[in-house]
Amino acid sequence: MLEIKNITMAVDDHGENKEILKGINIKFEPGKLYGITGPNGGGKTSLAKVIMGIYKPTEGHIYFDGEDITDLSITERARRGIAYAFQQPPRFKGLTVQDLLKIAKPDIDNNLLRKTLRDVGLCPEDYLERDLDASLSGGEIKRIEIAQVLVRNAKLSIFDEPEAGVDLWTIQKLIHIIMSNYKNNDKAIAIIITHNENVLPVCDEIILIKDGVVAAEGRPDEIWPLICDDIECKKRQECRGEMIYEIK
């Protein structure tokens, strides 16, 4: 169980104290797939970074499996089983795809390494030795980032907009992979930060984050109408509460 208790986070924005997260309370239970959504700049990535230990909260606590991890480093959190796939993955000149996956899971066997790359739509023959530099396309680096979280098979995996920059065919495949890895796995928690109308309906719960607060939380059929109300959607009346996508 991951428990976010009264988390507030502020940054120094050109000498001004800018509050980004304002008293966030959420409980994430194992065995569930959570979707976090909301308008640009609402605080979704900041919350993920607070959970991963990249940003320090100014107030509040984070508990993971009963332990207060608020003051733990990124490495210590990773050791406890927290994995994060960046919205904008960093590039590392001089490091290959294979190196990255082996850092993510040092005891990984060759078959799993190759299978995971294939799962995210990359041919191992073409990509294992590729440098993680600027020569990789936006979609390729995004898929590699997702692969490095998948190989870890962590207790808590956070995917920050996994669909961003990824072509439609691969999005469908990624949804299947994330779902088959995490749905009905009663020990793992998966959190997908997304705006994607195909991904949100397959989550067990959706959390809507807006202006640094949890604006709503509930099942997709409860939250979808609120999202529709929030955006300028001409078809609002017709699609209200409609589940757009069904995984077979």
Ligand X SMILES: Nc1ncnc2c1ncn2[C@@H]1O[C@H](COP(=O)(O)OP(=O)(O)OP(=O)(O)O)[C@@H](O)[C@H]1O
Stretch that binds ligand X, among 10-18, 111-119, 128-136, 217-225 (CB under 6 A): 10-18
Query: Angle, nearest 10°, between helix axes 138-150 and 97-104?
Result: 30
Residue 46 or 196 having the CB closest to ligand X = 46
Q: How far apart are CA 18 and CA 130, in angstroms?
A: 40
Residues in region 68-87 near ligand X by CB under 6 A: 87
41 binds, among ligand X, Mg ion, none (CB under 5 to 8 A by kind): ligand X
Distances (CA, A) of 173 to 177, 178, 185: 6, 9, 19
The residue whose Cβ lies closest to Mg ion is 45
Q: How far apart are CA 208 and CA 162, in angstroms?
A: 17
11 binds, among ligand X, Mg ion, none (CB under 5 to 8 A by kind): ligand X
CB 40 within 8 A of CB 164: no
Residue 119 or 160 having the CB closest to ligand X = 160
* 11 lines the binding site for ligand X (CB under 6 A): yes
Residue 38 or 117 having the CB closest to Mg ion = 38
Burial letters for 81-112: b for 16+ Cβ neighbours within 10 Å, e otherwise? bbbbbbbebeeeeeebbbebbeebbeebeeeb
Q: How far apart are CA 194 and CA 200, in angstroms?
A: 7
88 SS3 class: coil
Q: How far apart are CA 49 and CA 61, in angstroms?
A: 14
Distances (CA, A) of 38 to 108, 196, 215: 36, 11, 9
Q: Measuring CA to CA, which residue among 171, 174, 213 is closest to residue 38?
A: 213
* 41 lines the binding site for ligand X (CB under 6 A): yes
Stretch that binds ligand X, among 23-31, 34-42, 75-83, 151-159 (CB under 6 A): 34-42
Stretch that binds ligand X, among 41-49, 94-102, 128-136, 150-158 (CB under 6 A): 41-49
Residues in region 169-228 near ligand X by CB under 6 A: none
Q: How far apart are CA 71 and CA 69, in angstroms?
A: 6
Stretch that binds ligand X, among 42-50, 74-82, 108-116, 230-238 (CB under 6 A): 42-50
* 37 lines the binding site for Mg ion (CB under 5 A): no
218 binds, among Mg ion, ligand X, none (CB under 5 to 8 A by kind): none
* 45 lines the binding site for Mg ion (CB under 5 A): yes
* 20 lines the binding site for ligand X (CB under 6 A): yes
Stretch that binds Mg ion, among 45-53, 95-103, 115-123, 207-215 (CB under 5 A): 45-53
Contacting positions for ligand X (CB under 6 A): 11, 13, 18, 20, 38, 40-46, 87
Contacting positions for Mg ion (CB under 5 A): 44-45, 87
